[in-house]
A and B are shown apart, each in its own frame.
Chain A
């Protein structure tokens, strides 16, 4: 009997099960204790619990609002949505510019030109070794000091204004006609995709290359503009009223400082990813391309970059995720994205820290999940076929 017990004690599977039960028990005990204390604390401090607060009136104004209807009379839930939209807007703008800067710097780092190469290296070494929060605050203070006051705004054609509060652009008025314009843009894009597919097919079958740039310009760019004027939709122009501009699309200086710092900082990582991608392409590929008579530009565009991107894109997508997470630092300058609006202002008003922070985290987790899904799909698609 005793020997049997002893052999049980040394049995790996039994040990594993006992260990796991113990682990779960310990975690459950601490979770229960924490939850119990939390309920007690909440009761003592008179904090409400539950998600009812989402339907309460928010009672505060937000500085940046792009598409949604929002006023201080709106609910906290609407403020939450405004925060999410603003996070996405600054993240997408940042991703766009970071990719462009990163691509340029990454290629420049491998340039045969000494000066260009050195400038790219100095850029990367400088900006990736300075914390992003410091960069955001730095550009914010520079922008506040360097841009003129609203009275002396820099004026482009009486419709675009730049001053120390931000950039003011004409805004299309979102009414019936405007949606027709949007519809024509969608139609243009769909039609262009068909043409592109058709020309690719033709290229595969006959080898004839069709230049689709004119199609792109006429369908995706010109068609919506024509539709815009044909339907007689209106633009709303910004105008100086009192101390600042009203109306139009308003990109605040906080948005600028944040977007600029995020782009500049993330671009250093993207540049490094692109550089290592290009370096990973076998030299024989370039030589083969050259011996087939491709020009240097053709070789880069058709042979080197497609192979380099296969290596570079996974780390780049990770950097996109990092950029999105770093956009939460907006709270230091007060751009109204999710953390500023929701974990900041709403939390201060309502006081329900647990619900609010969990909701905020859920939004970021969803974004992370979506981005890693995209990454998985990409990796599947990009696997070298036949291996």
Chain B
């Protein structure tokens, strides 16, 4: 009687082992694929060496080097080091920098505390309270008053200014955007007409014309005595612009709510305000959150336009720093640095928005 025993399993043939199989599948599966691989390698060969040489191999990492000793073959990273404070704080006075740091630090503390009380019943109060109180505190810290030395807004700049403008833009445009979105959906013809005209007008023109409008034309609309801060004008322009886009995003959310929800709210005898604030908006906002983040991302990109109306955001600092006779001709280093900082911020935001999209999706899977 023969006893059946398992044969030893064979190793896969050499050509089928992991690395080679992967290469075969992904790079050399057909004649066309082989050709494409070589095209891709050639593109990399053209692009990578000059980029790597400039940023790393020919670059000067000596942080004490000045413009002359740096050389011109590669990047001169000491330029960034020497101007780092300007890139972050603009022209904010040296001895008052702690105020900006405190402002940013407070955000971190608020968020950390918020995640600690995640399950507390007071969490909503806490969030709303922070949104109301923090801007006041931040403004006093940045601008001064209450015993702090006043720092005029023309001293603000760099990443600080970028973040301030983006934050004010999103916070101020959010409630306005909700109003216009509701207005556009409204059955009241006049309200609807005003909302549609406003939204389509703003979306039809470039931001730069709105910024010009805010910085040149807006002061004419007010009586002569009112002196308008340049930053305030820019903030008004950015908010008016962002409102139209947020309104469209929220309208998308409103339209995604099934009719049954409106009808059920009506049937339950809720008033218009109750229906909107308790039934419709919570659902519409939740659906729109990923797109709101997307809109925030484009707002963050748009803050670079402040340069054109003469404010010193991070991008404008490149021009300011290289106009200093010590650092002539180092624009490229500046642009690359600013691009990297903004890229990291935007890339993490867009990934965050993708995660939110997954988290908020209530579809059955």
Chain A residues at the B interface, C-beta cutoff of 8 Å: 16, 19-20, 23-24, 27, 33-34, 37-38, 40-42, 44, 111-116, 119, 125-126, 129-134, 137-138, 141-142, 145, 325-326, 328-329, 331-332, 339, 343, 347, 353-354, 357, 360-361, 364-365, 368-369
Contact = CB atoms under 8 A, between A and B. Distances in A.
Interface in B20-62: 26-27, 29, 33, 36-37, 39-41, 43-44
A132 B301 contact: yes
Contacts, number: 144
A339 B206 contact: yes
A235 B29 CA distance: 51
Contacts of B216: 347, 353, 357
B357 interface: no
A131 B315 contact: yes
B184 to A, nearest CB: 14
A268 to B, nearest CB: 12
B331 interface: yes
B190 A20 contact: yes
B37 A364 contact: no
Interface string B324-359: 000000011001101100110011001000000000
B52 to A, nearest CB: 14
A145 B190 CA distance: 56
Contacts of B302: 131
30 contacts: A16-B188, A20-B188, A23-B194, A37-B220, A37-B221, A37-B222, A37-B224, A38-B220, A38-B221, A114-B27, A115-B44, A116-B39, A119-B40, A129-B350, A130-B342, A131-B301, A131-B304, A134-B304, A134-B338, A134-B339, A137-B335, A329-B206, A329-B308, A332-B307, A353-B217, A360-B209, A364-B205, A365-B204, A365-B205, A369-B204
Nearest to B39: A116
A361 B346 CA distance: 29
Contacts of B336: 138
Interface string B183-225: 0000111110010000001011111110011001101111110
Contacts of B307: 133, 332
Nearest to A139: B335
Given A113-B40, A368-B203, A369-B204, A130 B343 contact: yes
B224 A41 contact: yes
A353 B190 CA distance: 30
- Majority DSSP secondary structure for residues of A touching B: helix
A142 B346 CA distance: 24
Nearest to A120: B40
A40 B188 contact: no
Interface of B: 26-27, 29, 33, 36-37, 39-41, 43-44, 187-191, 194, 201, 203-209, 212-213, 216-217, 219-224, 301-302, 304-305, 307-308, 315, 318, 331-332, 335-336, 338-339, 342-343, 346-347, 350
A137 B315 contact: yes
- Majority DSSP secondary structure for residues of B touching A: helix
Contact of B332 (A23, A145, A365, A368): A145
Nearest to A325: B206
A19 B188 contact: yes
A275 to B, nearest CB: 15
B37 A115 contact: yes
Contacts of A339: 206, 208-209, 212
Given A119-B40, A365-B201, A129 B223 contact: no
Given A129-B343, A132-B301, A329 B217 contact: no
A131 B44 contact: no
A134 B188 contact: no
Contacts of A41: 219-220, 224
